[in-house]
A and B are shown apart, each in its own frame.
Chain A
């Protein structure tokens, strides 16, 4: 059997060389795999994909110059069951602001124009029945942020009880959202909890770099 040759990956933008990319047979393109807390911006015809439980991914692109990318974030818990570790709302949204600003700034820096941006948001599912609905908080934050920035959501698939697989192609704006079977819930929740711990243990004051 002859293995069809896989082309070399396109050159990553500076600052994104560390993101793991692999050849995707279905889409016949390279795709970058995002973990919670990461983001990726590209000017190439390649995909970005991630799995979302209660986290949110914003997919943003300049529809004229076709530069765009995806982030993956959630807000740390605010005052709830873990009252002793309560984080004020402004401190919590700080992490969301970071994630959104980093993505938008990287797009603008690489040729994007604010007036050409289109935004799609995904995730915020409630995948663990016994937990409070943290997904909804993340969805509300993302919608608020986008509105405040004067941007428009052109498509979304948020909430409900499913984890999601999101594959996004910034060059075309094409996105594939696939609901995942509950078999994957625990693995995805575990990945997100690990990420949550890293942001919750970081000091909220000061000028910290999160990505």
Chain B
């Protein structure tokens, strides 16, 4: 089964590739000898990312006190590892445009992912010891395995969705995937993250957002994305009734130290941010 997933992910290699600017920034962030000047230089070489970065840095979503009008200022204020996250986040939707499918509209897919990113970021601010911007990116990427499955295994993916509906929506999608395919989208996404050499935090959050106890190095971040995924559904469906969405693993509350009281304010805050976030992350 593991080899099937590896092959499946290899099969999309030519269709979807990481943005060049992310790869170059990633290399510099990992290199202890690199400086912020090096990173600013790489950013400047990509005019379209430069524009996106400055837009994000000046948006109310980030609430920075001073105007960020130059790349070097952005790098200094935002920090290099955050710039790396943004290089991925701001281009992820266009990156995956190369993997179209007939089952789910890309707008609807990214709408849910962005809600997950926003709720993860809000939760991380409460949970402490978690980097809000890193889990934002993890939330945005958590379901990328779905896009691989929808594109490469569309007939099986359709069976999965029909099975969910036949169960009167009682069966979660990942369990239906197990039943029909023998593996789920979290495993596929985790494998994609591994082959792309994404930071380990992202790989674990993507791979284990439905099986949080398997996370080794980033259990808190993974549990946060798990909760965020469910709260994102609540925000999308405009409900606060936990019976309307899949259950949250009770261990996720223990691991993150958060309590269920935060559900309502988190959902409401994400709903108030979604329009601005869509302009920044899903706009052209």
Contacts and interface: CB of A to CB of B under 8 A. Distances in A.
A49 interface: yes
A181 B112 contact: yes
Contacts of A179: 237-239, 244
Contact of B112 (A22, A167, A182): A182
A186 B157 CA distance: 12
A178 B144 CA distance: 26
Contacts of A22: 166
Given A162-B237, A184-B164, A178 B104 contact: no
A41 B104 CA distance: 33
A185 interface: yes
Nearest to A128: B105
A182 B103 contact: no
A24 B158 CA distance: 22
B153 to A, nearest CB: 15
Contact of B165 (A26, A162, A165, A182): A165
Main secondary structure of the interface of B (DSSP, over half): helix
A183 B170 contact: no
Main secondary structure of the interface of A (DSSP, over half): mixed
B275 interface: no
B168 A49 contact: yes
B165 A187 contact: yes
B244 A182 contact: no
A183 B111 CA distance: 10
B169 interface: yes
Interface-central residue, B109, B112, B164, by most chain A CB under 10 Å: B164
B168 A183 contact: no
Interface string A49-61: 1010000000000
A186 B165 contact: no
A54 B168 CA distance: 18
Contacts of B168: 24, 26, 31, 49, 165, 167
A178 B112 contact: no
Given A49-B168, A165-B168, A182 B108 contact: yes
Interface-central residue, A162, A182, A183, A184, by most chain B CB under 10 Å: A183
B111 A182 contact: yes
B102 interface: yes
Nearest to B161: A187
Nearest to B143: A183
Interface in B223-237: 233, 236-237
Interface in B165-208: 165-166, 168-170, 173
Nearest to A129: B107
B102 A186 contact: yes
A186 B105 CA distance: 8
Interface string B102-139: 11110011011000000000000000000000000000
Contacts of A33: 166
A181 B233 contact: yes
B236 to A, nearest CB: 6
Nearest to A51: B165
A25 interface: yes
B236 A181 contact: yes
Given A187-B103, A187-B162, A182 B236 contact: yes
Nearest to A164: B169
A79 interface: no
Interface in A5-33: 22, 24-26, 31, 33
Interface in A149-184: 162, 165, 167, 178-184
Contacts of A178: 169, 244
Contacts of B108: 182-183, 185
B198 to A, nearest CB: 24
Nearest to A180: B169
25 contacts: A24-B168, A25-B170, A26-B168, A26-B170, A33-B166, A49-B168, A165-B165, A165-B168, A165-B169, A167-B168, A178-B169, A178-B244, A179-B237, A181-B112, A181-B237, A182-B104, A182-B105, A182-B112, A182-B236, A183-B161, A185-B108, A186-B102, A186-B105, A187-B103, A188-B165
The 8 closest A-B pairs by CB, nearest first: A182-B108, A179-B237, A165-B169, A187-B161, A49-B168, A51-B165, A26-B170, A183-B104
Interface of B: 102-105, 108-109, 111-112, 158, 161-162, 164-166, 168-170, 173, 233, 236-239, 244
Given A24-B170, A183-B173, A186-B105, 10 more contacts: A25-B170, A26-B170, A33-B166, A179-B244, A182-B104, A182-B105, A183-B108, A183-B161, A185-B104, A186-B103
